[in-house]
Amino acid sequence: MEIDWDALREHAREAMQKAYAPYSKFPVGAAALTTSGQIVTGCNVENASYGLGLCAECSLVSALTMQQAGKLVAFTCCDKNGNVLMPCGRCRQLLFEHSAPELVLDTISGLKTIAEVLPDAFGPNDLNI
Ligand code: THU
């Protein structure tokens, strides 16, 4: 599948504008292309009970599920300046669960596969024992 990374990054920037981040003042946007060809997006949603804040990737996988858009093929995430942001460790696990085998992520050190950013991941297959 041909991936238009510039367009995907623009979707992430638009999503970032919707972030609810009054506490950290660190809005994040995320966007992904899926196996169905749909684009799914997400933003961080914080909470007065600080530890309950949701990352942009969490919002994105919820959208993926609601839109029944299949699996993640290409992913990007940005900060408030629109620059590429590395997904946090917890979010790499969230993305892994919903990744197509060939998922590629836009990272601060170039395009990388999910296996490169989360090697030897624990996942659904580990439960089939
Ligand atoms: N954040 C994300 O949304 N995704 C990440 O991968 C890194 C961090 C959010 C969480 C919090 O609302 C803010 O960035 C500052 O940590």
Cα 108–112–116 angle (5° rounding)? 110
What is the pTM assigned to this prediction?
Answer: 0.97
pLDDT (tens, 9 = 90+) of the chain, 129 residues, equals: 789 999 999 999 999 999 999 999 999 999 999 999 999 999 999 999 999 999 999 999 999 999 999 999 999 999 999 999 999 999 999 999 999 999 999 999 999 999 999 999 999 999 976
Residue with CA closest to ligand 1 atom 1: 55
Which two tokens mark 52? Answer: 């309950």
Edge to edge, the sheet with strand 39-43 lists 39-43, 29-34, 72-78, 99-107, 110-113
User: Ligand 1 centre from 26 Cα, in Å?
Assistant: 7
Clarify whether 57 is annotated catalytic. yes
Residue 128 confidence (pLDDT): 76
How many whole angstroms from 55 Cα to the centroid of ligand 1?
A: 5
> Exactly one of 10, 46, 57, 97 is catalytic; which is it?
57
- Domains of the chain as residue ranges with CATH: 5-114 (3.40.140.10)
